[in-house]
Amino acid sequence: MKILHISAECYPVAKAGGLGDVVGALPKYLCASGHESAVILPKYALRWVKEHRFVEDFRGTIRLHDRYLPFTIEREIDDSLGFPLYVANIPALFERDGIYASPDGYGYGDDVSRWLGFQQAVLQWVSQFWEKPKILHCHDHHTGLIPFMVKYCPEFHALHDIPTIFTIHNGAYTGAFSWQQVDKMPFFESSAKNLLDWADTIHPLASAIRCAWRVNTVSPGYMDELKSPESHLTWLLNNEWHKSSGIINGIDAQVWNPTTDPLIAHRFEGDVNTFKAANKAVICQRFRLDPELPLITFIGRLVNEKGADLLPGVIQRALENNAQMAFLILGTGDPNLKRAFYALRDRFYWRFDASIEYNESLAHQLYAGSDFLIMPSRIEPCGLNQLYAFRYGTIPIVRSVGGLRDTVRDWSEENPRGIRFDHFSEEDALHALYRASLIYSDKNLLTGFRKRIMDLNFSWEKSAEAYISLYKSVSSPL
């Protein structure tokens, strides 16, 4: 079985969030199970790309209304990721030092052109294959028009019978754009125009749901949320229920392995408390935090979707009330949140610090040395951070949404895995922190928690098998 994954991200080449982690791991595990799998993404001007060698595989030209842009498809020479990696080199659109925005946080103004150009380049290239892929696996809205294009664009008619899988990693990002930009689309059958439209826009996410052979989200709970009355996709996903499912993400157990992880100061050698204490000491020394206090961290993008805007008020209220806790923030995003966290750092020396950056090595160290990880998300399609936390014996404190609800059993439940709170409010989050302090104060309870969650298995083997079953279900048209 030959599966081509088409994505905007792939760890470690280009990562902004969980999409990159998934696309960097799933193909590797598919290949390990005997199913040929490859990835194609844009060629960004990022460090990893500059440090690796590529060879040209295909050359072509894409049309975006009255612009004609040359491109090449290139393959990484060494296959260093455990699967073939291809990049679409379209300098006019992607030769930039960011994936979706510049390093200072400002978004690019030509997203419609960028993603339409990428999708057309990929399909031109695939159309020339002597032996075409058996599956086109499209990830998120950046590739959402591919299921439509292979069915209704004459230029790509040779791909008409290739099954398309569309995975929704985050339905909050739709890629919708005005019909005034329809001229940037490749020519398509006019009778199929309605398959592009949703809310009077060209809507890549909605089009993919309509046109793909199968649609999945990255957790069953998130699929339920997208089908709920509160979702903007309710009618559409309920109408396409017969081809929709949820598959929990896995984590790359080779990358996230406390016994071998080269990015942490002290590796796990059998005693969980020794492991946690040694790594916590490294963090507390670096950030000048009190090692006697429970260390609660947030790791991720500083955006409303992740609930990061709840944290300044929660942390301030906790520390003003002399809660015996220490907090550490790692992430980038909203400049206003950056300023709020720096203000907290000035006020609460020894109990709060923030590192406003993307730092993969530091993230590993925080998973290894923190006592708790807080995830107050408004939306969390699956969540990977709580799975990484499990692996390193860090207890997650999560809001009961999407994949967080699917993976984290509350302290009040049988075989608990963490702490959950329901409402997006400072009061609910503060109560969750209070419950965390109770766990930390009982050393036997804390040790039992740590051992239990480190024994959990959320590796990609199980998730990859679920995807293989999904691929096999489209061996013939619906």
Domain match, 453 and 468 both? no
Query: How much is the average pLDDT of 305-318?
Result: 97
Residue 432: partners with Cβ closer than 8 Å, 6 or more residues away: 374, 397, 419, 420, 421
Helix spans in 288-327 (H): 311-320
What pLDDT score does 130 carry? 78
Strand partners, 441: none
Domain match, 320 and 354 both? yes
Domain match, 325 and 384 both? yes
In a domain, 400, yes or no: yes
In a domain, 8, yes or no: yes
Rg (CA), the chain: 23
CA–CA separation, 401 vs 52, rounded Å? 39
Helix spans in 327-459 (H): 335-347, 360-369, 385-391, 402-407, 426-441, 443-454
In a domain, 478, yes or no: no
Under DSSP, is residue 56 helix (H, G, I), strand (E, B) or coil? strand
pLDDT surpassing 50 at residue 478: no
Domain match, 56 and 84 both? yes
CA–CA separation, 119 vs 145, rounded Å? 8
In a domain, 90, yes or no: yes
Cβ contact 128:69 at 8 Å: no
Query: How much is the average pLDDT of 203-223?
Result: 97
CA–CA separation, 115 vs 94, rounded Å? 10
Q: What pLDDT, in 10s, does the model give residues 340-396?
A: 999 999 999 899 999 999 899 999 999 999 999 999 999 999 999 999 999 999 999
In a domain, 148, yes or no: yes
Domain extent, residue 331, equals 272-457
What pLDDT score does 236 carry? 94
In a domain, 53, yes or no: yes
**CATH code for the domain of 45:** 3.40.50.2000
Domain match, 402 and 345 both? yes
For the chain, the average pLDDT equals 95
Residue 210: partners with Cβ closer than 8 Å, 6 or more residues away: 148, 195, 236, 240
Domain match, 160 and 281 both? no
14-18, 112-116, 386-390, 472-476: which range is least confident on average? 472-476
Domain match, 453 and 465 both? no
CA–CA separation, 237 vs 246, rounded Å? 12
pLDDT surpassing 80 at residue 104: no
Q: Which residue did the predictor score with more confidence, 406 or 475? A: 406
Domain match, 35 and 90 both? yes
What pLDDT score does 477 carry? 43
In a domain, 115, yes or no: yes
CA–CA separation, 108 vs 110, rounded Å? 6
CA–CA separation, 53 vs 250, rounded Å? 29
Q: What pLDDT, in 10s, does the model give residues 394-453?
A: 999 999 999 999 999 999 999 999 999 999 999 999 999 999 999 999 999 999 999 999
Domain match, 73 and 211 both? yes
Alpha-carbon dihedral of residues 39, 43, 44, 45, nearest 10 degrees?
130
CA–CA separation, 245 vs 383, rounded Å? 17
Residue 447 structure tokens:
């040790």
DSSP class of residue 93 equals: H
Domain match, 205 and 340 both? no
pLDDT band at 254 (very low <50, low <70, confident <90, very high): confident
In a domain, 264, yes or no: no
Domain match, 137 and 97 both? yes
Domains: count for the chain: 2
What pLDDT score does 436 carry? 98
Q: Are strands 395-399 and 372-375 parallel, antiparallel or unpaired?
A: parallel
pLDDT surpassing 90 at residue 259: yes
Domain match, 76 and 225 both? yes
